Structure formats: C-alpha cells, structure tokens
Amino acid sequence: MRVAMRIMARVVLEKDGCWTKEGWNSGNGYGKISVEGKAKMTHRAMYESLVGPIPEGMVLDHLCRNRACCNPDHVEPVTVRVNTHRGDAVLMRGAVG
C-alpha cells in the first residue's frame, strides 16, 4: 500500500477516470517509479499493490489507451498476443503474433 500512496502523490485525477502519473516516465509514455531500488512501471506497481500479482505470462493492457494511467480499473491482464492485437502498434512483416 505504501507504493500506491507514493504513486498517488504524483497522480492527476482526470475526468475520464484515468489516474495520470506525472514526472518520471519510460520515454514512451509509461509512468515509472523506483520500488526497492528497481525501476518499475507505475501501472504494474499500482495493480500489484491494490489488486494483487499479475498472472504469470500476462501483461497489463490499458483499456483507456492512456499509457501514463495507473488506475487498476483501467487495465486488464491479457496475453502479449491479445495486447498486441488490441493495440495500435504496427506489426512488422514476418513478425510472429
């Protein structure tokens, strides 16, 4: 819960329900925080703090499409394949998906 409180101290609550983390980010829009001396994405840290462990082999898909959002209600554990298909990433020719 301490991690969640640290994150919330840097969050802007948006009208659409997103919890947008300000400050340090990954360079591609994902918020970051230091947890036990290691960099961690804020949406993952918040999910683990408030919901529980992310199931093995799963990633968190931002249903709101706001990478800086760390509201656990706005993410869903899915496979990498599902996340890729839902996302707006351009797949490279010949890439396995």
Topology (CATH level 3) of domain 2-86: Homing Intron 3 (I-Ppo) Encoded Endonuclease; Chain A (3.90.75)
Give me the torsion for CA of 30, 70, 10, 68, rounded to 10°. Answer: 30
**Tens of pLDDT, residues 43-60:** 999 999 999 999 999 999
pLDDT grade for 88, boundaries at 50, 70 and 90: low
Q: Is the pLDDT confidence value at 82 over 60?
A: yes
What pTM did the predictor assign? 0.83
